Structure formats: structure tokens, C-alpha cells
Structure 1
Amino acid sequence: MQWPKEIFHVDKPVIAMCHLQALPGDPAYDTAGGMKKVIDKALADLTHLQDGGVDAVMFSNEFSLPYLTKVRPETTAAMARVIGEVMPSIKIPFGVNVLWDPIASIDLAAATGALFIREIISGVYASDFGLWNTNVGETVRHKMRLAPDLKLLYNIVPEAASYLGNRNIVDIAKSTVFNNRPDALCVSGLTAGAETDTQILSSVKAAVPGTVVLCNTGCRLENVERQLSVSDGAVVGSTFKIDGVFENAVDPARVKAFMDKVKSIRH
């Protein structure tokens, strides 16, 4: 339970998402703007997030819709290019999330020096992207080969998917912790920006009291005090966007207002 304080230097850290624009090979990739546009937008969002006082940032290929559960090499390569370009401006701890491929996420973390990944690492799901399987044993061994100190944040309520099998979230949390020893569990709503049920957060936290539990989606100015009263931190994306809209750029005023509230709660 001590590792978040060691990495983020605060209690109940807020990990902000830096959503990368569509990348080469993605359906929505802007061929006219090219990689320069992707890098410029990433740098602008990163700057606004850091200036607003977030505790960490996580780079993800959020606009690579529809997502692959095994990404192609060009996606990981493009993300490494973006992170490499903005690296001189990164002032806070950072992680990566190559949606939805934990092996690729580990590869990217090893290449960039990221301290953590968030992924669907265990379980089998029926999802919008088809039957979604994982191989947690192989994933963890891959991490040990490439980046033994990397922290693995297990998303146990994947967005746009449901666990294949009649098991409730508490049972899933217990067995995930027992079998896999995750560094943290991430509990989500249905989609990016959808509010995480506080009761579910409470149930998971009570079931695995010795494990870090993060609110993974839908943390907003009006509910953050309630969510952080239960969880050990939050991953925040859409809330920081202009008008709180997923597709928009980061709004520095919204970041500052949210983090001012968080800091008042923590102190």
C-alpha cells in the first residue's frame, strides 16, 4: 500500500490522462496534419495538465478507435515517438496505456521509462471489440523480463465489456488479488467519462483492504470528495477537457479547479 506515496509523493494521487490523437494506421488519423499535429496536441494537453497541478500523467492512444486487443507495431512506435518528443517537458511521474494490449504497454513503458501501466491484464470478457481474452501469466513474466519495477494497474471493470461468467465484482477483485498480486485495481464506469459507482468502489475496497483501489472513470468536481473518501486515488480524463467532453482538448481552468478541490480534501 506504500508504493503510490513513493512514486507520486502524495496521498490519493490524481493520474491525468493525456489522450493522444489518432495515430498512423488508425481510421481517424489526420494524414494532412501528420505526426506533428499529434505531438503538438499532446504537448499542449501535457502542459495544461502539469500547470494545473496533477500528480501524474498517463499517455494513451485514446483516439485509436475502434480499439484492438493486440495492437500493431506502428501504434507502439508512434506512441514512443510522441513521448520521446515531449519528454523534455515531462515534470511529473508518467505511465502509459496502449489500448488494449498489455504486452505493448509493457514494451512502451520499457522504451520510455514509464513507471506504471493501466490495462486489462486478467479475465475474459464479452466486449464491443469481440471476445476479449488475456494471458496474465505471460504478461507478468514479460514485465519481469523488460521492466521489473513497473507497476501494473489492473482494470477489473473494462469499459464497453462485461466479465464472461457469472461472477460479481467483489469475487473478481478477491481472486485477482489472490492470484495475481496487482499493484492496484482500477474500477470503472461503462465508458470513458462515465461515473464509477461509489458503492461498487466501497465494496471492492472492503474486499481487498490491503490493495490500492483507484476510481478509474467519471471523477468530477462535484463528486471527487465522495470518490476519494473511498478510493486510494483517481484516473481522470474527460473531466479535464473543455466542457467535460471526451473529444475536446484539455481545459486549464477545469484542471486547476479540480486539483484545487483535491488538494483541499487531502489537507
Structure 2
Amino acid sequence: MTTTWLDEVFGVRKPVIAMLHLSALPGDPGYDTAGGIAAVVDRARAELDALQTGGVDGVMISNEFSLPYLTKTEPITAITMARIIGELLPDLFVPYGVNVLWDGRASIDLAVATGAKFVREIFTGVYASDFGLWDTNVGEVARHRARVGGSAVKLLFNIVPESATYLAARDLASITRTTVFATLPDAICVSGATAGAPTDTEALRVVKSAAGDVPVFVNTGVRAENVATQLCVADGAVVGTYFKADGVFENRADQKRVEELMLAARAFREQLA
């Protein structure tokens, strides 16, 4: 079997990456000025413990509660995330990535600064979105990654962005093929409409078929009861909402739900051996 970067980074087949959603940060409308950074760190540390003790294969740290999102973030966001990740580093023992929503350059900068192995972002396409007209420049971002010494940082391209519609009249298979050929992703993520929304299994199959040797992740809507079905197609999964208490996006991570999903994921992987 050919070794992939996923094997090298995670050490398991079909890894499950847990989202560690940071509370609103300085500059965000929902920031808790009374609790300050200390409150954000305390919640993040508690959730990290639930995720890692529950058995996830990796963690992706994101500013998920920086609603409404910017497509070009303010410097304070990545700066604060770097400070928080620095405080969490002694407690991190699984591979980790970062995601500064929705800013590819800032995500790469944060990865380089914190030693993260991977980032996930919208790197390609033009979209009509809830955040306005959403344009990207993958060539500029790729060159920025090289300039800041981030060539080893793996780029996970989300080609079905949440809360947005691709402006060109192109089918998903065509988008996947040209993304792989022209923009050199390290992996492709396929999402539903919003965080926690189911990812269409047929869309996942289309992308996997068109992606060639590039790994494909199911990016939203993975649950204990469907993780095996989704991993039959995908090379890995990114899970956020299901790991929260009662499966509610705003809640904190619940170790029992993490264990439940990871038990199902491991049972499926054992069948592949």
C-alpha cells in the first residue's frame, strides 16, 4: 500500500480530525470582554482534553465563533489565536492544524508560527456568499506560503464552501479535476450547507472519483451512525458539531460523544486491515 502524507502525519488510515472551536476573540462582536483571553483559553483547554481523551486522531483549531466571518481577517484574530495555541501546546499530543475563517493567508501564517501540520480553507473559486462576493487568489497564497517558510504545511481545500454558491456554471467533478490539476491541493474537503449539516454521500463519491491520488475529507455532518458509511468513500473526516454536548454547535465538546464516534470509526478501520 502506498504511504501518503496522511499516514505520515496521523499514523492511522482514515483519520478523524476534531474541530476545536475557539470562543469569540478580541474584535469579534461576541467577544466576552469580562472573561477576556483567560476565559477563551480555559474553555479551549477543557475541550481539548475531552477531544484527546475521547480518542480523536487530530485536532484543528479554528475561530469558529468569530461570527459573522470576514474573508480577510483583522490582524488581532490570528495574533490572538497564536497566543491561545501557545498556551495549549503543552497539552497537545495529537497532530494539529489551524483554520482562520475565512482567510487562507492568515491560516498559513498561523500554522507557520505555531508549528501546525495543516490548514483548511477556501483557496479557490469565486462565490456569492452570506459574507458578500467572495473571491480568492490561490496563486498568491501559494507563493505566500513559500515566502514565509510554510512549504511543509499541508493545504486542505474546501471546494464546497459553507454558506456560499460557486458563481461559474460548472459541475462538481469538473471543479475537482481542475482544482487538482491547476492548484495543487494536499487534500480536498467536501461540506454540507453549514457546520454540522450532512455532506451528500453522492457528492463525496463524485469528488473522490475525480480527485485522483489527492485525499478527500468529508467535512461536515459526520455522526457516530454514519461515520462508517462516509469513510467508505472518504479518506478521512473532519468532525465538529457532533462532538458537542447534545450535538449542538454552540455547546462544549462532550467526551462521551467523542468516544462514541471514535469507537465506530475504529471498528470500521479494523475491517480494512
Q: 1:143 aligns with which of 142, 145, 160?
A: 145
Letter in 1 for 2:144: H
Q: Who is 1:76 aligned against?
A: 78
Counterpart-to-counterpart distance in 2, 1:121 and 1:6: 24
Partner SS for 1:227: helix
Residues 123-167 of structure 1, C-alpha deviations (whole Å, 9 max, x = no match): 110000000000000101111122110000000000000101111
The aligned residue for residue 20 of structure 2 is 18
For 2:166, give the aligned amino acid.
Y
How many residues are aligned here? 267
Structure 2 residue runs without a partner (length 5+): none
Structure 1: state its 5+ residue gaps: none
Mapped partners of 1:8, 1:231: distance in 2: 15
Which of 156, 160, 173 is the matching residue for 1:157?
160
Tell me if 1:133 matches 2:96. Answer: no
Q: Percent identity?
A: 60
Q: Which residue of 2 aligns with 1:189?
A: 192
Task: Return structure 1 stretches of 4+ with deviation > 4 angstroms.
Answer: none
Relative to the length of structure 2, the TM-score reads 0.97
Tell me, yes or no, if structure 1 residue 233 matches structure 2 residue 229: no
C-alpha separation in 2, matches of 1:156 and 1:193: 17
Alignment of 1:207 with 2:210, yes or no, is yes
- How far apart, in 2, do the equivalents of 1:203 and 1:77 lie? 38
Report the AA paired with residue 242 of structure 1: A
Q: Which amino acid aligns with 1:109?
A: A
* Equivalent position of 1:38 in the other structure: 40
Aligned-residue CA RMSD in angstroms? 0.7
| Structure 2 residue corresponding to 1:115, chosen from 91, 94, 117 | 117
1:136 aligned partner, one-letter code: V
Give the residue type in structure 2 aligned to 1:140. A
1:175 aligns with 2:178: yes
Q: CA deviation at 1:209?
A: 2.7
